Structure 1
Amino acid sequence: MSKLLIENVSKSFGKNQVLQDMSLTVSDGEFVSILGPSGSGKSTLFRLIGGISLPDSGSIYLDDAKINGQRGSISYMPQSSSLFPWRTILKNVLLGAELNGKIDEDKAVNMLERAGLKGYEHAYPHQLSGGMKQRVSFIRALLSPQAFMCLDEPFSALDEFTRVDMQKWLLNVWTEYQRSILFVTHHIEEAIFLSDRIIVLSQRPATVKKEFVIPFERPRREELLLTEEFLRFKKGVYDALVE
């Protein structure tokens, strides 16, 4: 497990300021979602955390070590599955571990089986559905040695039924492994259903506008989505986004 601290981070591209004095934390084993308007800098924030870009000012710490501009500190799951078409499913999930010299093929096979992908170890990505590809992508991130995970709208391309199934599957896996997760989504229900906390960003230049602690106990079940309490909470988050 691992703790992330973002402290007064700002970032501009030319005259276009994207982030302004942004500060947030993700505690050990915590699941935190980020919601914000389109173009509010969520992807830029992930690039900064991943060390792909440098902030203009401010600091990013992982387990008290400053990681500004430092790559390889986190594992990352993008919007698309980004699987290599020439590698088998097993070889794809082992990629992160392979790059870090910590391959455990038995563990990978076991995780694929538990994800409902038994028998697909030697298949190729084009033979899998969208939901199956996203499971493979998440297992690849989970098998990477980094304890902190950034998930960038990983279910946005899925239909509603597949999306809900993937959310429930993700919660089951996360409950077992308790990785620290920072999750970007545009989907309010998804953020509430999955998270311990939600951070709402403002329009550009983005800063933290509001924070919500999710009051619903775990484990979360699909029936929660239709309760009056859930719908009231959803309205509160929606109001914070549009105000």
Structure 2
Amino acid sequence: MSHLEVQHINKSFGENTVLHDVSFSVKEAEFVALLGPSGSGKSTLFRIIGGISHPSSGSVNLNGENINGKRGSISYTPQSSSLMPWRTILDNVLLGQEITGNRDVEKALQMIERAGLKGFEQSYPHELSGGMQQRASFIRSILSPQSLIILDEPFSALDEFTRLDMQKWLLSIWSEYKRSILFVTHNIEEAIFLADRIIVLSSRPASVKKEFTIPFARPRDEAILLSDSFLRLKKRIYQEMRGNNGE
């Protein structure tokens, strides 16, 4: 079970206000995308949700419990794969379970095979492509005990076709395991294709400018990327984000 409530978060560093009255939710088994311009304070927001940083005011609640300043409540996957270079892929995938003392090697091996990484269990991260490393990172998140996963632009370094393959793979795994996901991206198309809802942040100081509910049924096929309804929604979100920059 996982229900995240971000309530009236403000964050300032001296005279510099980064976040202003940010409120949104991620419901049980919901896939929410967060869109915002560069420098809008998304990383600061993540540090607050992850308990690494304290808000100046406001609260972060997970399943009704205030987790301000509490680390380990969520699983966070950054832009780079963050795999430990001295650990094999299998040992990297099991890291989250190791911390809780509950290694499930059989399930990890099943997930590695499902990710197309069979035969690489004893390989090291530098022996894998970027896309393969990101799959291993996501498997680690799925196998970790936390019920909420934050993915911070995990596919930004991949080429367009690899990125689409990874998006489809991510949706197939998420549809099976139904974890709550907060997915950050600058890519409007990616956000629409993946998410149930999109939250658009304003430029700094960041606040929630707009929410969009995605009307497309699941499972989603890449054919919708070229549909008129998809392109109309993409245009609406694009115009909203252009407004962020005062253009």
Q: TM-score range, shorter-chain basis?
A: over 0.9
What amino acid is aligned across from residue 193 of structure 1 in structure 2? F
Residue 41 of structure 1 pairs with residue 41 of structure 2? yes
Between the aligned residues of both structures, percent identity stands at 68
* In structure 2, distance between residues paired with 1:54 and 1:107: 36
* 3-state SS, counterpart of residue 119 of structure 2: coil
Q: Which residue of 1 aligns with 2:212?
A: 212
* In structure 1, distance between residues paired with 2:103 and 2:41: 35
Q: Which residue of 2 aligns with 1:198?
A: 198
Structure 2 segments unaligned to the other structure (5+ residues): none
Residue 236 of structure 1 pairs with residue 236 of structure 2? yes
Q: Which residue of 1 aligns with 2:169?
A: 169
* In structure 2, distance between residues paired with 1:141 and 1:218: 22
Residues 178-197 of structure 1 show CA distances to partners (whole Å, capped at 9, x for unaligned) of 00011110000000000000
* In structure 2, distance between residues paired with 1:120 and 1:111: 12
* 3-state SS, counterpart of residue 158 of structure 2: coil
What amino acid is aligned across from residue 64 of structure 2 in structure 1? D
* In structure 1, distance between residues paired with 2:178 and 2:42: 23
Residues 39-84 of structure 1 show CA distances to partners (whole Å, capped at 9, x for unaligned) of 1111111110000000000010000000000000001111000111
* In structure 1, distance between residues paired with 2:175 and 2:226: 23
Residues 130-183 of structure 1 show CA distances to partners (whole Å, capped at 9, x for unaligned) of 100000000011111000111100001111111000000000000000000111
Q: Which residue of 2 aligns with 1:107?
A: 107
* In structure 1, distance between residues paired with 2:61 and 2:38: 26
What amino acid is aligned across from residue 125 of structure 1 in structure 2? P
* 3-state SS, counterpart of residue 68 of structure 1: coil
* In structure 2, distance between residues paired with 1:13 and 1:80: 26
Q: Which residue of 2 aligns with 1:150?
A: 150
Q: Which residue of 2 aligns with 1:66?
A: 66
* 3-state SS, counterpart of residue 107 of structure 1: helix
* In structure 2, distance between residues paired with 1:106 and 1:84: 21
* 3-state SS, counterpart of residue 33 of structure 1: strand
The two structures, once aligned, show a CA RMSD in angstroms of 0.6
Across the two proteins, how many residue pairs are aligned to each other? 243
* In structure 2, distance between residues paired with 1:14 and 1:121: 48
Structure 1 segments unaligned to the other structure (5+ residues): none
- Return structure 1 stretches of 4+ with deviation > 6 angstroms: none
* In structure 1, distance between residues paired with 2:216 and 2:227: 11
Following superposition, the deviation at residue 14 of structure 1 comes to 2.0
Q: Which residue of 2 aligns with 1:31?
A: 31
Following superposition, the deviation at residue 99 of structure 1 comes to 1.1
